[in-house]
A and B are shown apart, each in its own frame.
Chain A
């Protein structure tokens, strides 16, 4: 890994779906080993930013570089955990098969997955405590368990950058703990993490830095600077209950 290059370097990124811009002129750099949260109201382009970092959506303008390389060429270095709502839970696939997908990039398409790949996938499932349910179809799991399966897939892939789209949405306490553990150990391994998050109450506690987004980049930096009441009320347009909670410090349990 090249330590001088930032892990993620976004320059003037603009993305639009039809006539509506999803992201407007976003520029930001994230250093390797950081745990960064992306916050912003619904429809603010958080998931689009994640998809740009994955090279899935094409930029109208601007570019995304990962470790100094164009995102198109850095493929496989980025692992990701999709939003729960975007997964087809009826798909005929088992827990173990999902975890094994993390290894798909490691083998050329014509050859079989190796025994090592299977071991790595199984080990990843053990880490998120899902090994017992490995032969279940993914629709037969609880919400938290589903989230953990995709965490295992990302662990098995082991990219330098890990992107997570709302991993904490609607999960039980045990899963939240498990996810935080994985985030922590992943960061300790020197990887870079970018997490879409929507609970402002826990944002400061979980992340090194925050990105505040609503089409444009409103703020990027240490949580205490980004979670500024005036800034937030501008971006969130008067959902004031949240800010009252933040200020009086009784944030625990007060979701958005």
Chain B
């Protein structure tokens, strides 16, 4: 590498020009590529690159036929920008106005315009001297002075546009609706960005060719995207990856004596894969590590269940190992993480709940027993109840459990005769709830009485809930009205649902 650097100092202007070109082009490509990645318009960028051919040929032809000038760089640049914009405008228009979706429209338009360029090249082959091969694979080593000037101008224009309009570009990329509501002209900004992309693509094609130019745009930006959490950093880091990709790729192409364009794009992709593997937050290894560290929900819940069913809600690690199917090592790890989470207390060799842990465990037990009751209703064999409920208990979101509870008529015990924990999520003193979820011993004040109720009770009356009757299908309450008169009423489930009570 050192020798190579020395060679740059001493040797050919050819090499210096190639390096200069490469660094300029990768800078603008990487920076504008960030917006392409964020706007998810990679395919559109590819379309822009291909459509360029038609513009280059037309630009060439116009200058040749009217002024007799060969390969006039600015004319070809302007031609490709115009053909790029026409392509994007047509894609936008057709996908808005027809039911054909955007990706299909892009496919149609860009191949069509690219092919049209190809037709023009053949048709006017005696006037146009465009080497299609160079157009397709790039010609980093054949960059003319005029090309280099053009690239410098493009770089300055595009970079100043991005720096000056940074906030606007950030906003239209992130939230178009808000951008419009602030009075930004979203459409014009979009076209300005497209124009910049078209210009950048033209320069990129010189280096790596039309097929690989998308790699030059996207790869550095996507690599940086795996590392950055701010747009400003993304632009910087992307440019950095553009440079390293170019320098390493170019160096390899010289030493291996292969086409520089291809080698550069291969390097850019390799860079991306490497970062994808090792990125600290969004990388594959980091993800793998997170997975390894995480304790599955089901696992946590099974441990809570074992402790809740243990004598005095205390047990040792051995009990957990005996009552679950998991390996001892994983159980130790899970208990450790649950202690950290403040669900469990682990003192000496005894594991017990914290307040929070007990609440989770009870929620789980309630779900388990309600599921058992429900499965019995469905006619599932008694000996299968526990195993199947054990799987289903992990579906314990509040709404699902409350729905089951209501469907089953708020049962008090499960099929094995064990008590189903009450609905402690809703049974909070001072809250309003229906009579149906209350149990023996609850007291409160009536807030609302539905039209279903014929008995003479009214809001403000005091209520004491008694033991349920008829296989717990009848709610028995003692009501004390404003005059102090006590009366006993019996309600079915529907009626109990119609009475709202504020719990003491």
Contact = CB atoms under 8 A, between A and B. Distances in A.
A54 B233 CA distance: 31
A93 B174 CA distance: 9
Q: Size band of the A side of the interface?
A: 20 to 34
A92 B177 contact: no
Interface in B45-59: none
Interface of A: 18, 51, 54-56, 75-76, 78-80, 82, 87-88, 91-94, 97, 101, 104-105, 109-110, 113, 137, 248-250, 252-253
Most buried by B among A76, A93, A253: A93
B182 A93 contact: no
Most buried by B among A51, A92, A110, A252: A92
A88 B231 CA distance: 13
A102 B432 CA distance: 40
Nearest to B432: A252
A248 B230 contact: no
Given A18-B99, A101-B171, A250-B497, A56 B448 contact: no
B167 A92 contact: no
B175 interface: yes
Contact of B500 (A87, A137, A250): A250
Given A51-B177, A54-B181, A248-B497, A92 B234 contact: yes
Given A82-B177, A94-B230, A250-B434, A75 B448 contact: no
Interface string B3-16: 00000000000000
Contacts of A137: 229-230
Contacts of B432: 252
A97 B228 CA distance: 14
Contacts of B497: 248, 250
6 contacts: A18-B99, A78-B181, A80-B177, A88-B174, A105-B183, A248-B497
Contact of A55 (B173, B174, B180, B231): B180
Contacts of B391: none
A56 B180 contact: yes
A252 to B, nearest CB: 8
B465 interface: no
A76 B178 CA distance: 9
B240 to A, nearest CB: 15
Given A109-B164, A249-B448, A250-B500, A91 B181 contact: no
Nearest to B99: A18
B293 to A, nearest CB: 17
B129 to A, nearest CB: 44
A30 B244 CA distance: 58
Interface residues of chain B: helix, strand, loop or mixed (majority): helix
Interface residues of chain A: helix, strand, loop or mixed (majority): loop
Contact of B498 (A76, A82, A113, A248): A248
A82 B450 CA distance: 39
A101 B168 contact: no
Contacts of B176: 56
Nearest to B34: A92
Contacts of B181: 54-56, 75-76, 78-80
Contacts of A51: 177
B183 A92 contact: no
Given A18-B99, A54-B181, A101-B178, 11 more contacts: A76-B182, A87-B175, A92-B38, A92-B225, A92-B228, A93-B170, A93-B229, A94-B229, A94-B230, A97-B231, A249-B448
Contacts of B178: 54, 80, 82, 101
Nearest to B167: A104
B165 interface: yes
Contacts of A101: 170-171, 174-175, 178
A109 B168 contact: yes
Contacts of A56: 176-177, 180-181
A55 B182 CA distance: 9
Contact of B233 (A75, A76, A92): A92
Given A54-B180, A249-B448, A249-B500, A97 B230 contact: yes
A137 B228 CA distance: 9
Contacts of B228: 92
A104 B167 CA distance: 7
Contacts of B97: 18
B488 to A, nearest CB: 24
